[in-house]
Amino acid sequence: MFDEMSQRGVGDVVSWNSIIAAYVQTGDPATALKMFDRMTGQGDFRLLPDAVSLVNILPACASVGAWLRGKQVHGYAVRSGLFGDVFVGNAIVDMYAKCGSMDKANNVFEQMKVKDVVSWNAMVTGYSQIGRFEDALGLFEDMREKEILLDVVTWSAVIAGYAQRGRGYEALDVFRQMRIRGSQPNAVTLVSLLSACASVGALLLGKETHCYAIKCLLYLDGNDSGDDLMVINAIIDMYAKCKCPKIAHSMFGSVAPKDRNVVTWTIMIGGYAQHGEANDALELFSQMLKHKSSLIPNAFTISCALMACARLGALRMGRQIHAYVLRNQYESTMLFVANCLIDMYGKSGDVDGARVVFDNMYQRNSVSWTSLMTGYGMHGRGEEALQVFDEMKKTGLPIDGVTFVVVLYACSHSGLVNQGIKYFNSMKTEFRVDPGVEHYACMVDLLGRSGRLDQAMKLIKGMPMEPNPIVWVALLSACRTHANVELGEYAAGQLLELESENDGSYTLLSNIYANARRWKDVARIRSLMKHTGIKKRPGCSWVQGKKGTATFFVGDRSHPQSEQIYDTLGDLIDRIKAIGYVPETSFALHDVDDEEKGDLLFEHSEKLALAYGILISAPGVPIRITKNLRVCGDCHIAITYISQIIEHEIILRDSSRFHHFKNGSCSCRGYW
DNA sequence: ATAGGGTTAG
C-alpha cells in the first residue's frame, strides 16, 4: 500500500510516519532508519518530519546504538522548534540514556521547560540501567520536592536495575518502600522482583512473590497482553535458579502446552541444564522440537541445550545441535551460540572441534577466547592454551581476572609451573588485574600438583586475604597426590575450622591415610563421617551410546547387558595383570559407603563404563566416558594398561580434567 | 508517538 502511494506521490508525513513506526515496532530499526533517510533526504521527495516522526525514529537510533544519528535528530528538533514538545524531549532524553550517555541525557532533561512523569522515569531508568543507583534514588527526592508522584514505572525501573546487576536484596528493599508508599505493583514489577529473587537465590521471598502474583493474576486474568505468561515464566525461572527444579517443572506443567511460548520452554531447559538433570533438559528440548507448531528455538534455547550437552559431555547430541544451527542459520546471534559450541566441544572431549568453531567465527569476544583456552587446558594441551593467550593479547580485548584463572588452570594441568608463576606475577604489573583469592587457589593447585608443597604453603601464608575453602582443598588434594600426610592433616583441619568440610575433603584425607597404611585413621575418618551424617557422593560414570546414555555406579548390575559387561571386565583385568598391573588396594577404601559389600575395586563405575564402551564401540572408534567425581587412582592405572591392549583411544572426563589414554599412557602425565 | 519486565557463554 505504502509503495503504491509513494509512487503516485500521494504519500504524506502521516503515511511515512506510519510505515516507519511499523518497522520499529516489528523490530527492524535498521529499515526504519533507511526509510527515515529516504523521507528526509534530497530529491523530489523531501518531507519535513513532525513531532511524531522524531518520536518514532529516536528509539530506533537508540536500539542500534546510532548515537550520532540521534544527535542529528536532536539538533533538528531544536532548530525546528519541535523540542518544546514534551514527547520529543522525552524521546531525546531516552535516546541518550539508552546510548549510555547519561550526562547528555541530563543536559537535555534540564533544558526541558515542560516535564512529565515520563521524563523523570526516563532519567531514573537510565541511571538504574548503568548501575548509578544513588543518582536514580536522588531523583526520587527531587520528585518528592516537586510533588511528582512516583508511579509504578519509576519503582519498577529501579527494581529491575538492581535485579539485572545481581543486587537482589536492594531490589527487594526498593519493593518494600514501594509498598509502604502505597504504589500498586503490576506485572512488570512482579517480573523484576522475581528476577531479583532468582539472582540471589532468595527462595522464601520468591515464594512470597509467587503468592502475591497469584493474588494479582486474578485481576490480570483475561487480558491478552501476555503479561500473565511473562509472570509465570519469571516464576518458573525463579524456582529453577533457587535450586528447586522440581517445583519449576510442576509450574511449567501447569501451563497448558498451547499457552507456552519459546521463553517458557527455554527457561525450563536452561533450568534443568544448570540446576537439575541435564538429561531432562535434552529430553525437553527434543520434545519442544517435536511440537513442530510455531515453536522455533531461538539463540537462547540453543545455548541452553548446548549447556546441557556440555555438562553431560554429550558429544553426539552436541554435534546434532551444531548441525541444526548450521541448517537454520542462527547468524544474527551467532556469537553467543558459537561460544556455547566452543564450550560444549571442549567439555565433550573434542577440543579440535572447538577450534574449528572458533576459527570460523567472524566475530569473537573475550568469552570465545577463554572458552577455547579452557578447552586446551582441560585436555592438558597447555602450550596451545598459552599460544591462544598470546593471540588474544594482540586483539586488544580486555584481559580480566577470569582470563587469568583460565591461564593458570591450563598451566597447572600441563605442568607448566614456571610459566604459571610468570603469568601470576605479570597479572598486576602488566595487566593491572589484582590477584583474587581464586588466583591464589590456582597457584596453590599449580605448585601442589607439581609437588612443590612447601612453596604452596608459603604462598598461602603470604596471601593478602583469608584463604577460602577452595585454597585448602587444592592443597589437600596435592597432599593426596604427593602422599604428604602431615600437611594434608593441616589442610583438612583448616577446612574443618571454616566449617566447609564436604564429602570430598573427607575422602581425600581418608585416601591419604590409606596410602600411608594408617588404617586406624582411616577408620576414624569413616566413623566421623557417619557421626556427622556426611555421606560420600556416589561415584558415577556414563557412556553415550547410539541409543542414549548408559550410567553406572559402583558394583552396578542394573544394566541389561550386565553379565557381558562383567565378563569383559574380568577378562581385561586378567590380561593386564599378565603384563604387570598390580591392583592399588589403597584406593579400595575410596568408596567408604560400600565397604560392607567387600572389595569393590574392580567394580568401580569408570571400569564398568569402559567395559560397556568396548562392547558397543566399533573397532578404532574412541570411547568417551564421563565421571562425576575424580577418577580413582587404581582405575587410572588399570585404564592406562588397558589402553595398551585394545584398539580404542579412551577419552575420560572426570571432575578435574580430561584423560586421553592411548598405547599405555595418559595425556595427564600425572598432573591430575 | 515517549519510560519499566522473562531465557544464553568463559
Sheet holding A548-553, edge to edge: A548-553, A540-545, A623-627, A650-653, A658-662, A665-666
- Model pLDDT for residues A103-130, shown as the tens digit of each residue: 999 999 999 999 999 999 999 999 999 9
DSSP A257-321: GGG--HHHHHHHHHHHHHHS-HHHHHHHHHHHHHH-SS----HHHHHHHHHHHHHHT-HHHHHHH
Å between CA of A397 and C1' of B1: 40
State the nearest residue by CA to the C1' of B5.
A188
For residue A174 the three cell numbers come to 526498593
Return the closest nucleotide (C1') to the Cα of A403: B10
Cβ of A643 < 7 Å from strand B? no
Tell which strand B nucleotides have any atom below 7 Å from a protein Cβ. 1-10
Interaxial angle between packed helices A334-347 and A351-359, expressed in degrees from 0 to 180 and rounded to the nearest 10: 160
**Nearest partner of A209 among A176, A245, A235, judged by Cα:** A235
At which residue does the C-alpha cell 509503495 appear? A3
Distance A18 CA to B8 C1' (A): 34
Rounded CA-CA distance A650/A652 in Å is 6
A303 Cβ within 7 A of any nucleic strand B atom:
yes
Residue A375: C-alpha distances to residues A11, A407, A662 (Å): 58, 11, 19
pLDDT under 70: residue ranges of chain A: 42-45, 218-225, 292-293, 332, 501, 585-599
Domains of chain A as residue ranges with CATH? 1-149 (1.25.40.10), 436-536 (1.25.40), 540-666 (no CATH)
CA dihedral of residues A535, A536, A541, A547 (deg, nearest 10): 0
Chain A 543..602 CB hits on strand B (< 7 A): none
CA A520 – CA A518 distance, rounded (Å): 6
Strand partners, A666: A661
